Amino acid sequence: MAELELLKKLSEARGISGREDEVREIILNEIRPLADKIEITPLGNIIALKKGKERAPKKLMISAHMDEAGLMVTHITDEGFLNFVPVGGIDRRVLPGKSVTVGENIRGVIGLKPIHLLKKDEMAKSIPLSELYIDIGAASREEAEKAVKPGDEVTFDSVFDASGKAIKGRALDGRAGCAILIGMMRHGLKYDAVFAFTVQEETSLCGSETAAYEVHPAAAIVVDATAAADVPGVGSGKQACRLGEGPVVPFMDKRTIYDHAYYDMAFRAAEKAGVKCQAKQDIEGGNDAGAIHVSREGVRTAAVSLPCRYLHSAVGVISREDFSAAIKLTAGLAEMIEEERSDRHTLC
């Protein structure tokens, strides 16, 4: 499946918020032959117009974010260790002992005091962020300064694997969304659509905010991944969504109450496309919709999310079936949005 190859390439690319250059290059190379017009906005968003067989009755923007949560170097110690801050929401418990890449391909690990030297109560405690540091093997501050500098980006080392029914890899959150958009562009569209690949979703939503302003759409679909908690120790009522049960459609999250007609429409689009679809059964999190639906005079917005376990850790897990279904569902939903007969605005 060509989309899987692309997803691997995107998942292995490094691009924390504000440093999306490598991801942007990959996407531009993919979409140049597919798009009718490509624009890069001042903050680094890609806005690509793809013409369909027919002109769109309504300007629709379909977006996915390019960035990933990661870390950033803040300081180099006298001993040559690197202090860092998280960029985006990272649970500090996933950090100790991980392999990372810093700046221009400098390899490192997140160090921690050996278990043999811990006091008993320290063993069950996660290490405070302020005590974590990156070790790049430098013997001194001088040696470290030759290789890295404060402000350098830090990403988890990638371990993509799609040998089974699940896909495991880094940064699947935004990158799976990007791959879905490109998949739609490859398959061709019934109606014109604007595809936006946004920056800085993990930190501020300033990418989608400015992209929506620039595009000025009447409707939007945000494609990303959402936290699936269908793991041991989490009761079925708190799992939010489950892998393999199809793409997730939210009615509300911490930033957005989604357009209810589009929410209903997504389930009809799934049925029509013959794919599974599930409601997001909690209101945690938020995504680019938070900025898009309040752009200018307001934008009717829907989201299609892939259930993803271990979001914002070194390895996320998504279902291959959900991924394929999301391409079909998003394409179907886009068509239905265009073909919706009575727009809410004309009713008022």
Partner 1 sequence: MDEKLREMVFRLCMADGTSGDETGARETAAREFAPYAETSSDTLGNLTAEMGDMGSKTHILVDAHLDQIGLIVTGIDKSGFINVDGCGGMDRRVLPGSAVAVYGKEKLYGVVCCMPPHFTGSKEDEVQETGRMTVDIGCTCEEAKRLVKPGDRILFRTEPKALLGGRISAPALDNRSSVAALVRCAQILSEKRLSCHVTFLCSTREEVGGQGAVTGAYIANPTAAIAVDVGFASQPGVRPEQCGKLGGGPMIGFAPALNRAMSEKLVSVAEKLGIPYRRDVMGGDTGTNSENISASRAGVPTGLVSIPERNMHTPAEIVDLQDVENTAQLIAEYIAEAE
Give me the active site residues, please: 201
**47: enclosing H helix or E strand:** strand 46-50
Nearer to partner 1, 321 or 340 (CB): 321
Q: What angle do CA 192, 34, 41 make, to 5 degrees?
A: 75
Let me know: does 325 contact 247? Beta carbons within 8 Å: yes
- Among residues 42, 53, 78, 124, the one that binds partner 1 under rule CB under 8 A: 124
Nearer to partner 1, 165 or 187 (CB): 165
Number of residues near partner 1 (by CB under 8 A): 67
- Among residues 54, 161, 264, 271, the one that binds partner 1 under rule CB under 8 A: 161
Smallest gap from Cβ 250 to partner 1, in A, equals: 16
Residue 236 interacting with partner 1 (CB under 8 A):
no
Let me know: does 314 contact 201? Beta carbons within 8 Å: no
Cα-trace Rg, the chain: 21
Six-digit token string for 209 = 């905010």
Smallest gap from Cβ 232 to partner 1, in A, equals: 5
Q: Which of residues 306-325 bind partner 1 (CB under 8 A)?
A: 309-311, 313-315, 317, 319
Residue 286 interacting with partner 1 (CB under 8 A):
no
Residue 237 interacting with partner 1 (CB under 8 A):
no
Of 152, 149, 134, nearest to 98 (Cα)? Answer: 134
For 235-244, b/e burial (b = at least 16 CB within 10 A) is eeeebbbbbb
Nearer to partner 1, 7 or 167 (CB): 167
Smallest gap from Cβ 82 to partner 1, in A, equals: 11
Phi and psi angles of residue 83, each rounded to the nearest 5 degrees, phi first: -85, 155
- Among residues 47, 81, 173, 212, the one that binds partner 1 under rule CB under 8 A: 81
Q: Which stretch binds partner 1 (CB under 8 A): 46-54, 108-116, 175-183, 337-345?
A: 108-116
Give the separation between CA 266 and CA 285, rounded to whole angstroms: 20
Burial of 338 (0-12, 13-18, 19+ CB in 10 A): buried
Nearer to partner 1, 169 or 177 (CB): 169
Residue 252 interacting with partner 1 (CB under 8 A):
no
Residue 154 interacting with partner 1 (CB under 8 A):
no
3-state secondary structure of 152: coil
Burial of 104 (0-12, 13-18, 19+ CB in 10 A): exposed
Nearer to partner 1, 97 or 298 (CB): 97
Beta bridge partners of 223: 304
| Sequence-distant (≥ 6) Cβ neighbours of residue 257 within 8 angstroms | 251
Residue 254 interacting with partner 1 (CB under 8 A):
no
Q: Which of residues 1-20 bind partner 1 (CB under 8 A)?
A: none
For the beta carbon of residue 66, count every other beta carbon within 10 angstroms. Answer: 30
Phi and psi angles of residue 300, each rounded to the nearest 5 degrees, phi first: -65, 125
- Among residues 110, 154, 194, 333, the one that binds partner 1 under rule CB under 8 A: 110
Smallest gap from Cβ 38 to partner 1, in A, equals: 35
> Interface with partner 1 by CB under 8 A: which residues?
79, 81, 91-94, 96-99, 106-117, 123-128, 131, 133, 135-139, 143-144, 147, 157, 159, 161, 163-168, 227, 229-234, 238-240, 243, 284, 309-311, 313-315, 317, 319
